[in-house]
Amino acid sequence: MTTTATPAPPAVRRGGASDRARSEQRLAWYLCAPAFVLMLVVTAYPMIQAVWLSLQSYRITDPESREFVWFQNYAVVLSDGLWWRDVAVTVLITIITVVVELIIGFALAMVMHRIIFGRGAVRTSILVPYGIITVVSAFAWQFAFAPDSGFINTLFGLENYDFFAQFGSSIAVICMSEIWKTTPFMSLLLLAGLAQVPEELQEAAKVDGATPWQRLWKVTIPNMKAAIMVALLFRTLDAYRIFDNVFIMTSGAQGTETVSFLAYRQMISRTAVGLGSAVSVLLFLTVVLIAVVFIKLFKVDLGRVRGDG
């Protein structure tokens, strides 16, 4: 009687991964390790250091009196009306700029998506403001609205009206500068979303008699929900950290100080490292909270959008 030897199954190690898969995973870790370590050095370490400094009473001009005070700096910041006023100003600027940028950015994205002739020139001209450095843009808008050197007063016959002498007009100029500078970024993200909307759905809706407005609300926008979420999230996080325009145009005068400017003023101008670090940590936590709320509200599975699901 003869027996037939059954071929041994391929060696599968613990976890179900083959030797090749484990080797590829090991290679991936080797390739990612330098970037991962660099990220830890340039991001994680400063964040941990900021949290550590926020728990101390520490002024650069008086290092001898440095002491550990636990959460006292956070209590001082959160009980001060200045913090809440700056939060309100920051939220106001964020809401105005993001809403206006979404509307204008969507219109520009539609133009860039539908235009047939001169598409490259139109797209380039729309994206030019985003290529300008924010500080340069802020100086340009400040000079335009300055009562002595600007052309806005001459153009509208406002004589010596000072836009930066009142809260409302100062916020308006800051918002206009921010909108002009970053709307192209919003339109670029929305343009990517428009490209993902199947043309077959548009044609089917057109055959069914849907008007352009109905196709926009029933077909286009629902199919670019992920792109809208990404655009709103990126711009909201960026707008909430606004600093350059406020620093150049008003330096926080007329009640236009934002949270980022408050952190700068506490840390650099007043040399109160502990309080400045506490403001910075609170700003970071607010940004994280905004990101979590956006992801929860939109309920978008980005993996399925990419076609991985």
**Per-residue pLDDT tens for 59-76?**
888 888 889 999 999 999
At 13 the pLDDT is 52
At 304 the pLDDT is 55
Lowest mean pLDDT among 75-89, 146-160, 267-281: 146-160
Highest-confidence segment of 32-41, 117-126, 220-229, 235-244: 235-244
Q: At what angle do helices 81-114 and 225-240 cross, to 10 degrees?
A: 140
CB 56 within 8 A of CB 69: yes
Tokens coding 48: 């941990």
Pick 23 or 99 by higher pLDDT.
Answer: 99
Pick 120 or 238 by higher pLDDT.
Answer: 238
- Residue written as token pair 């956006």: 294
At 175 the pLDDT is 96
Q: Distance between CA atoms of 96 and 176, rounded to whole angstroms? A: 10
Checking if the pLDDT of 95 tops 70, the result is yes
Pick 102 or 41 by higher pLDDT.
Answer: 102
Q: What is the pTM of this model?
A: 0.83
Q: What is the largest CA-CA distance in the chain?
A: 113
Residue range 185-214: mean pLDDT, rounded: 89
Which residues on neighbouring strands pair with residue 68, listed in sequence order? 56
In angstroms, what CA-CA distances link 304 with 10, 129, 298, 308? 33, 33, 14, 5
Residue range 18-24: mean pLDDT, rounded: 83
Q: Distance between CA atoms of 144 and 141, rounded to whole angstroms? A: 5
